[in-house]
Amino acid sequence: MRYLLLLALGTTALFASAQAIANPQATSPSEENNLLGLPPVPIPASNPQTPAKIELGDKLFHDKRFSVDGTVSCANCHNEKQAFTDGLPVSVGHHGLTGTRNAPTVLNAAFNQSQFWDGREPDLEGQSKQPPVNPVEGGLANHEPILEITRTDPYYQAAFQSVFGVSGKKITMDHVAKAIAGFERTLVSGNSPFDRYYFKGQTDAMTATQIRGFDLFIGEGRCVSCHTIEQDHALFTDSRFHNIGVGINQIQQDIPRLAQAFLEAKNKGGEVDVMVLTDKKSSELGRFAVTDELSQIGAFKTPTLRNVELTAPYMHDGSLKTLKEVMVHYNNGGVNKTGERVNDFLSGGIRPLNLTDPQLNDLVAFMKALTSSSISSKQAVPTPTQAAN
């Protein structure tokens, strides 16, 4: 945590004023390094960063009292030792209850144009209010218990007073959400071998197999059409939603009935956050659950690929265990097992690739070139294995 906190403060200083970005003296070389390959962190005018706010957000992120049985904090499912994921196919909340979806990393979530696999929340502030009151996560009936704690705990009383100038009943969930989001905006990490290769011209930063994988990524594999790379930075996401044949292939006969039932429940006041995380089949409807548009059935947000080596298992349902399985899925044109039928809503961008097994291994090697050097060396995870050639 210490490392991230230092980074946090460095980032705050960096983005406190816009002109600081262009001023190399505003950051030490190591901090600047960590941001290599990333665009500036977007900080909303309504929630400026301060060191005290970030520290408060860090505490809130780790507070297990914000759950019905006192065991679940954000960090349970977004554990810094596991690159801010939980390493599980689908997350476990209070009393061992399981949800329906894989916990994405919070690293670099600051750059997301929408939050959650289906993009149902526009920003980090909105996102952070959901987990404590989700029936399979924090399990609270409403936000009152959180406000009770923040209004009476001496640490929080002092912190909310100094950060927001509020106390007692004036502390609201908006303040809590702002502090958590402020903390999350410091969890950014670039400077991977790829960043040094591509943005700094260090031709030896990637191995030969990683370079071949990169060529496939932007060439025959067509990966870059969704996992995008810009001229001066790369987030590896187009921030759009695509059906790439995960989960939905198995339930396609049921889709018309499911979609109809979902819309009826939603019209009767059902909350999307609750419905998709408590019912496996509703979860598979993807972006449709948010927009009601049939064309978006089974479509999920393109995830970043930064640090993907550290965030297995993969996909919105955690159904693919390894990066190799992911490559096989793409190579088969959106099905995981040969013989499985693709679903009717599959994205036009997903077609069989006819790559060879060594080429799939090259793509996997390239995925491992996206691990931020600061994380792999500071955290309790194996160092990336780099193939010899």
Q: Which residue number, 27 or 37, has a Cβ lying nearer to ligand HEC? A: 37
Residue 101 or 196 having the CB closest to ligand HEC: 101
Select 27 or 297, whichever has its Cβ closest to ligand HEC: 297
In the numeric block, the tokens 């894989």 are attached to: 102
Residue number, 27 or 38, with CB nearest to ligand HEC: 38
Question: CB 31 → ligand HEC: shortest distance, Å?
Answer: 22
For ligand HEC, the closer of residues 17 and 95 by Cβ is 95
CB of 61 to ligand HEC, least distance (A): 6
CB of 284 to ligand HEC, least distance (A): 9
Q: What angle do CA 122, 125, 129 make, to 5 degrees?
A: 105
102/119 Cα distance (integer angstroms): 14
For ligand HEC, give the closer residue by CB, 296 or 373: 296
Can you give the binding site for ligand HEC, defined by CB under 6 A?
61, 72, 74, 76-78, 91, 93, 99, 101, 103-104, 106, 109, 112, 115-117, 124, 127-128, 131, 137, 180, 217, 221-223, 225-227, 242, 244, 246, 276-277, 300, 302-303, 305, 308, 311, 314-316, 323, 326, 330, 347, 349-350, 363, 367
Q: How far is the CB of 63 from ligand HEC (least distance, A)?
A: 9
Q: Locate tokens 């659950």: which residue?
A: 289
Tell me how far, at minimum, the Cβ of 360 lies from ligand HEC, in Å: 9
Strand duo 300-301 + 241-242: pairing: antiparallel
In this complex, which beta carbon is closest to ligand HEC, that of residue 127 or of residue 373?
127
Rounded least distance, CB 199 to ligand HEC, Å = 20
How far is it, in rounded angstroms, from Cα 377 to Cα 310? 12
- Which pair of tokens denotes residue 132? 């404590």
Residue 66 Cβ, how far from ligand HEC at the closest point, in Å? 7
